[in-house]
Amino acid sequence: MTSKIRIKVGDVEFEYEGETKFSKDEIKDLFAHLESFSATGKIVERPNPPEGGRTANGGIRPLHTSTIASRLDAKGAQKVVLAAAAHLQLIEGKESFSRQELLTDMKTATMHYKATMSSNLSNTLQTMVSQGAINQISADAYSLTETKHAELERLVAGQS
């Protein structure tokens, strides 16, 4: 049986998915450990970005693929693909991405990714190209469409 745990204490976030089971005591110890990071100041605080979710240098603040997937309420493959594509293009600054890069990034969204998404990825990508959500640039290169890029940029920046 797979265990999932996600804990956020201040700026510290811990996410785990795997076969290991956690007892109540182990979870309490984990909370205490995370709180100690926050209390001792071992975490480097980043200045809060100005309104709109952008950093002072104009870039979008870094977010994990899981956070983007959560904001998209990703329950299916297409939304997980969008979350990974948004992470690759908006956060990592890639102009385009390969199928393998996309799949690798999708897998990091452990609360949303399902193994069946890998075997159905070609069909999912084909559907999304035909729907105008992503562009196929070459045999193995994709990018977000301009419309979807702008929509996801607003979402990542914390705007509706």
Q: How many domains does the chain have?
A: 2
Query: pTM here?
Result: 0.64
With contact defined as beta carbons under 8 Å apart, do 61 and 53 qualify? yes
Q: Residue 49 — pLDDT band, cuts 50, 70, 90?
A: very low
- The three-state secondary structure class of 131 is helix
Q: What is the CATH number of the domain that holds 141?
A: 1.10.10
Asked whether residue 20 falls in the same domain as residue 92, the answer is: no
Q: Which residues neighbour 92 within 8 Å (Cβ) at sequence distance 6 or greater? A: none
Residue 30 has a pLDDT of 67
Distance (Å, whole) CA 21 – CA 109: 20
Distance (Å, whole) CA 85 – CA 151: 12
The verdict on residue 58 lying in a domain is no
Asked whether residue 36 falls in the same domain as residue 70, the answer is: no
Q: Note down the domain range covering 11.
A: 3-40
The verdict on residue 60 lying in a domain is no
The 10s digit of each residue's pLDDT in 124-134 is 999 999 999 99
The verdict on residue 57 lying in a domain is no
**42 pLDDT exceeds 90?**
no
The verdict on residue 97 lying in a domain is yes
With contact defined as beta carbons under 8 Å apart, do 97 and 91 qualify? no
- 14 vs 160, residue with greater confidence: 14
Asked whether residue 74 falls in the same domain as residue 151, the answer is: yes
